[in-house]
Amino acid sequence: MTLSLWFSLFTVCLLGAMSPGPSLAIVLKHSLAGGRTNGLATSWAHAAGIGLYALVSLLGLAVVFHQLPLLFKAISYAGAVYLAYLGISALRSKSGIAEKMTSGKAVNVFQAAKEGFLISILSPKIALFFAALFSPFVATIHDMSGKVMMVATPFLVDGLWYTLITVLLSNPRLLDKLRHNAVIIDRLSGLVLILLAAYIVTTVS
C-alpha cells in the first residue's frame, strides 16, 4: 500500500469516526456513568466491531450486501431496534447516566464494552460506510501487508478517536458540569437515539 493510498484510507476512517451519532452517545454515557475505565472499554469494544467490519469487507462485504439485500435489511432493523431500546431506556433513566449516579449503582465494565461493540456491529450507518466507501480500497489493495493495514487502520483510528473523547470527558471541570446535567443528557441522547432508529426504519423500508 502506498503512503498516499494509506492516507486516503486514514482520512476516510477518521471522518467516519468523527461523525456524530449513537457511537458518541454510548461513549459519553459510559464515560460519565462509569469513569475513564468504562469509557475506554466502550471505545475499544466499538473499535473491535469496526475492525470486524473491515475484515469482513476484505471477504466481500459490498458484494454480499448487493447479492443478499435481506441480510442488509436484517442488520438495519436489528440496529434500529437496539437504538430504540437504548433511547427508551435513557428517556426513562433506566441504565442511563442519571439513574446510575443517583442510585450509586456500580457500572459494569463488561456491559459498557458490550454496548460499545453492539452499537458498531448493528449500525446500518457503519455497514453502509464499509459497503460504499471502503469497497474501492478492497479492489485496489492486493498485497498481504496492505490488507493488514486495511483492517488495522479503521480499528486504531476509531479506538484512538474515542479514547481521546474519553480522556477529554475525564477533565474534572467538564465532568462536573456534565454530571450536573446528567438528566438532560439522558433525555437528549434518548431522543436522538429514537429518532435515529425511526430514520433507519423509514430509509430501509
Q: Per residue in 3-12, pLDDT tens?
A: 877 887 788 7
Q: What mean pLDDT comes out for the span 100-129?
A: 74
The whole-model pTM stands at: 0.66
Q: Are 137 and 54 in contact (CB under 8 A)?
A: no
Q: Residue 102's pLDDT band (boundaries 50, 70, 90)?
A: very low
Calculate the CA 49 to chain-centre distance.
8
Q: What mean pLDDT comes out for the span 154-175?
A: 85
Counted domains in the chain: 1
Reported as a single tens digit per residue, the pLDDT across 167-198 is: 887 777 766 666 666 677 677 777 877 887 78
Q: Residue 103's pLDDT band (boundaries 50, 70, 90)?
A: very low
Residue 9: its pLDDT value, please? 78
User: Mean pLDDT for the chain?
Assistant: 76
CA distance to 98, 114, 167, 203, per residue, from 170 (Å): 17, 21, 5, 37
Q: Which domain holds residue 61?
A: 3-204
Q: What mean pLDDT comes out for the span 105-113?
A: 78
